[in-house]
Amino acid sequence: MQYDLFHIHTVDEHTLFVIRNLRRFALNKHNHEVPFCNDIFLLIQKPEVLYLAGFFHDIAKGREGDHSIVGQDIAQQFCHDHGLPEHDTALIVWLVRHHLIMSTTAQHKDISDPSIIHTFAEQVGTQERLNHLYLLTVADIRATNPTLWNSWKDSLLKELYLATNTALENGLKNPIKQKDHIEQTRNEAKNALVSKGIPTRIIEQCWAHLDDNYFIKYSADEIIWHTIGIASTDNNDTNLPLVLLRPQTLRGSAEVFIFTQDDGPIFSLCTDILDQLGLSILDARITTTQNQYALNSFHVLRQSGQPINSLIKEINLSSQIRKRLVNKNAKGRENILRFSRQAKYFPIKTQVIFHNDPKKQHTILELISTDSPGLLAKVGQVFQDHHIILHNAKISTIGGRVEDRFYITDLNHNSIHDQERRTQLKNDLLTLLTQDTTTHRAAISD
């Protein structure tokens, strides 16, 4: 048994559900569930290899050590004992060892960055592995807890698969250069905007103070939407803050876009409002222009995992955020979310871990904790108090367990290497979040 809030089955039950899911990918009558998986399954030459990988992927859970490493040894011994071909054995063992890397990459890393895609493609190595890994990943998530699978995860994994497929087809020795990626994105967005009647002069004016990172973070589709909104303000600060919402993006989520002067704890205020309205934040991207304007983008879903499908809710959401940004000192309303009663019985130790950015642009701060109302707003306030700039946030909440990554720098846009400063930041986060969790647990007990 796995004692947490997101594995609702025992390991053996979960394993059988994984194999059931893999089998359903082969049957036309289940094509409506995840049709892309049915398409990929047609590329699998030996389904039994995929089924065996599913059977062994979690078999070592409950034993000492990393279950992926221990599991690969068990799988290898089984394949050897039963005389499986060397190639099939190697594929099964690789899948068991690396069955988590696709979900981790999709949910914790910026898959719009060509360098992230190239690194992942190098890890996977072949199209055959990619096909098997994608199907195993989808089957695994869907067999863990019905509430974990949603349109956001579906689109993220599909996007990662397609980008990796392209990288493998182009050859790992010929990665897409970041400069080429930026130019391609700019041209695609610019051509579409011109076709919509936006003059080139206005487009260049909207983009004048944006750096290359903006065109890496966002897709052409997102940039088009942002630019149309920014152009509507006519460079008049009285029209700010600009708050836009589109209920359905290419990733299946709603996107909230804020454009305003960078003059306060914008991230903290926005996350507080979104949290109060009962929305789950899936992704947050923060861009500060060279002339000190902030572009904040949040991908959200309702707590049920469903998109926002009410015009009244859309209007209310945009209105609430704008009011709060205009009057930053106004007290927010009571949070409609409640600290989970289950969290009392499944305490998650709060951890703050620093990682070095391979690109050496940011410091990566990983936060592991129990989910609680207003958590992101509190984190944002601590960053504000420490004079830290937040550039990007990858939000992952699974069954009450928060695993968030924040990409931060100092006010000069430099990585934070000073150990004393890191320690103080870590201690303040731990103190605030631990006290918050303790208070909520006490309230539940009462």
Structure tokens at 308: 């926002």
Same domain, 24 and 159: yes
Residue 425, pLDDT score: 95
C-alpha span between 103 and 157 (Å, rounded): 7
User: What's 348's domain CATH number?
Assistant: 3.30.70.260
Same domain, 192 and 316: no
Same domain, 315 and 188: no
List phi, psi (to 5°) of 26.
-90, -10
Residue-number span of the structural domain to which 79 is assigned: 11-170
Whether 3 is covered by a domain: the verdict is no
Residue 341, pLDDT score: 47
Same domain, 106 and 255: no
Write the DSSP string, 26-47: T-GGGTTTSHHHHHHHTT-S-H
Query: Which of the listed residues 304, 321, 337 is the one where a domain comes to its end?
Result: 337
Largest CA distance in the chain: 74
Residue type, 1: M
Whether 252 is covered by a domain: the verdict is yes
Burial zone of 302 (CB within 10 Å; 0-12 exposed, 13-18 middle, 19+ buried): middle
Residue 331, pLDDT score: 61
Number of domains in the chain: 4
Same domain, 272 and 387: no
Residue 117, pLDDT score: 93
List phi, psi (to 5°) of 247.
-70, -15
Query: Which of the listed residues 307, 337, 367 is the one where a domain comes to its end?
Result: 337
Residue 399, pLDDT score: 61
Whether 289 is covered by a domain: the verdict is yes
Q: What's the pTM value of the predicted model, to 2 decimals?
A: 0.81
Instruction: Look up residue 325 and give its DSSP letter.
Output: H
Whether 5 is covered by a domain: the verdict is no
Same domain, 71 and 162: yes
**Helices and strands (DSSP H and E) totals, the chain:** 17, 9
Whether 41 is covered by a domain: the verdict is yes
Residue type, 275: D
Whether 243 is covered by a domain: the verdict is yes
Residues with Cβ < 8 Å from 27, sequence gap 6 or more?
38
What 3-state DSSP class applies to 309?
Answer: coil
Same domain, 153 and 61: yes
Whether 6 is covered by a domain: the verdict is no
Same domain, 62 and 159: yes
C-alpha span between 68 and 273 (Å, rounded): 40
pLDDT tens-digit map of 407-417:
999 988 899 99
Same domain, 322 and 434: no
Whether 1 is covered by a domain: the verdict is no
Q: pLDDT (tens digit, 0 to 9) for every residue of the chain, 446 residues total?
A: 665 556 778 889 999 999 999 999 999 999 999 999 999 999 999 999 999 999 999 999 888 889 999 999 999 999 999 999 999 999 999 999 999 999 999 988 888 888 899 999 999 999 999 999 999 999 999 998 777 788 888 999 999 999 999 999 988 887 777 888 899 999 999 999 999 999 999 999 999 889 888 998 888 999 999 999 999 988 777 788 899 888 777 777 888 999 988 877 888 888 888 888 888 888 888 888 888 888 989 988 877 667 777 777 778 888 888 888 888 766 655 554 544 445 555 667 889 999 988 778 889 999 998 888 788 888 998 998 999 988 888 887 766 778 899 999 998 889 999 999 999 999 999 998 876 555 544 444 44
